[in-house]
Structure formats: C-alpha cells, structure tokens
C-alpha cells in the first residue's frame, strides 16, 4: 500500500513513498506479464522493440525522434502528463538513432515508463478537480542526462523513475538467479567494492545478460547491495 509523505520539493502537498522492493515487484510483474503474453516465455534481455511495445500500452504516444533541445542540451526524455488521458513520452532523437547510445536509449525509455507507472496517477489526482489551472510546463516531467540513472534521493520523482528503470531492465529476482552461480564460485559474501575483480565479474555478467551499460549495471548492483562504493573492511571470517 502506498504511503503518502510531505513533499519537501513543494511540488505537491504530499507525494508517494515507495519502498524499493515495492517498485521491484511492480516492475518485474509488468515485464514478466508482457513477455509471457507476447513471447510465450520470460527471458532477458527484453529487446528494445519489446520495451517500446510495452511502453506503448501505457501511453497515448511514444515519440523516439523528438527534438528536446529547447529544454536544454542535457535533456534526454520528457513525460507529458495529460489530465484525463494517458501520458505522452518523448525521447531525444540522438538516443534512438545512434547505435553507440543504444543502451542509454533503453535506460531512458525505461526511466520514462517509471514516471508513467509511478507518477501519472499523482498528477491526475492533483489536477483533475478543475480547481487548479497548471501552466503547461507543470505537466511535463523533464529528465536530464545526469538524473536518468542515479538522481539524488532528494529529487524523489527522478530517483523513483531511475530505480524503476533498473527494475524493468534488470529485474531483481531474475538478476538474483543470474548471479547466484557466480557468487557461489567467488566464495565470498557481497557486497564487493566496485573496483574489486569480483565486482567487475558481476557487472560484466549483468551487462551481457540484460543489454545495459556498465554504469547502469553498476548502479543497479549498488542499489541492490551486491556492490558498495566504499572499500570493504576485512572480517575475522574473510
């Protein structure tokens, strides 16, 4: 059940608080149901075409050739909230047309889907009464490059969408099953420091299996507790 807490950013009187596991379960359930229906099995990576198709089931329109330069050269995605209708997602054209940015493109698609699934209802509820007449830019969630993967927790809306992005592309329980044999072979307890050889092995495996960038794999493994940004202190049993 969603908890409602005061919104320190002042965008809303109250905002939804999701535990990470709640986001994980919602995202993995959505992805698994889609794959079963359209592919007959749950297997990863989810292809980019399938990711787009999954998104299109929850929006009025997905435009992956958008010119978002008016919002700033560092803006890579926009979710446009439409009161009384489903949202529109816009992705900057350079992501969808440059092969070298394919993984970044997938991450941004999943990030915007996170906004649709986690935040559209909040906007609908807040503005649908007709008592408030928001300016157009109040109904646009503008996502900058630096916040797509790992926004600070103080920017709760971007943090939640960033976490959801990882959860769609690298589902928690699928990732756990993938890593188990490697962790057994390593024979040490996680978390591993991000610069350790064990951490590199885990990131490589996640990158290859889920078709994500090294940065996306690193952030996901950090958030799930497989890696740590701080050196690990040796223990009596290490």
Q: How many CB atoms lie within 10 A of CB 175?
A: 26
Domain around 68? 16-169
Residues 80-109 have a mean pLDDT of 96
Higher local confidence (pLDDT), 169 or 11: 169
Query: Is residue 132 predicted with pLDDT exceeding 80?
Result: no
Asked whether residue 146 falls in the same domain as residue 186, the answer is no
* Residue 176 and residue 165 in one domain: no
The total number of residues shown for the chain amounts to 238
Same domain, 164 and 179: no
| Collapsed DSSP state (helix, strand, coil) of residue 107 | helix
State the DSSP H helix or E strand holding residue 125, giving kind and residue range, or none if neither.
helix 102-127
Residue 65 covered by a domain: yes
**Residue-wise pLDDT tens digits, 18-33:** 999 999 999 999 999 9
**Contact 106/212 with Cβ under 8 angstroms?**
yes
Query: Are 99 and 148 members of one domain?
Result: yes
The pLDDT assigned to 235 comes to: 56
Pair 151, 163 in one domain: yes
Q: What is the DSSP letter of 100?
A: G
Question: Last residue of a domain, which of 169, 197, 213?
Answer: 169
Domain count across the chain: 2
Does residue 233 sit within a domain? no
Q: What's the pLDDT at 230?
A: 87
- Do residues 107 and 159 share a domain? yes
Helices then strands, each counted (H, E), the chain: 9, 8
* N-term to C-term CA, the chain: 40
């Amino acid at each position: 059940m969603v908890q409602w807490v005061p919104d320190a950013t002042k965008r809303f009187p109250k905002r939804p608080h999701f535990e990470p596991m709640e986001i994980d379960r919602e995202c993995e359930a959505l992805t698994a149901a889609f794959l079963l229906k359209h592919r007959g099995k749950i297997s990863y990576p989810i292809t980019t075409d399938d990711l787009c198709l999954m998104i299109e089931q929850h929006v009025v329109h997905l435009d992956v050739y958008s010119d978002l330069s008016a919002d700033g050269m560092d803006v890579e995605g926009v979710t446009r909230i439409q009161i009384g209708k489903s949202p529109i997602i816009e992705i900057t054209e350079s992501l969808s047309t440059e092969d070298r940015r394919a993984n970044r493109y997938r991450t941004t698609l999943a990030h915007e889907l996170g906004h649709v699934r986690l935040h559209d209802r909040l906007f609908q509820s807040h503005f649908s009464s007709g008592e408030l007449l928001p300016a157009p830019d109040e109904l646009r969630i503008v996502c900058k490059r630096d916040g797509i993967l790992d926004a600070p927790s103080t920017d709760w809306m971007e943090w939640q969408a960033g976490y959801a992005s990882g959860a769609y592309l690298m589902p928690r329980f699928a990732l756990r099953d993938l890593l188990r044999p490697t962790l057994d072979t390593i024979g040490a307890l996680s978390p591993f420091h991000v610069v350790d050889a064990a951490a590199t092995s885990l990131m490589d495996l996640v990158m290859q299996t889920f078709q994500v960038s090294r940065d996306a794999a690193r952030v996901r493994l950090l958030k799930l507790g497989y890696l740590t940004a701080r050196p690990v202190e040796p223990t009596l049993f290490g």
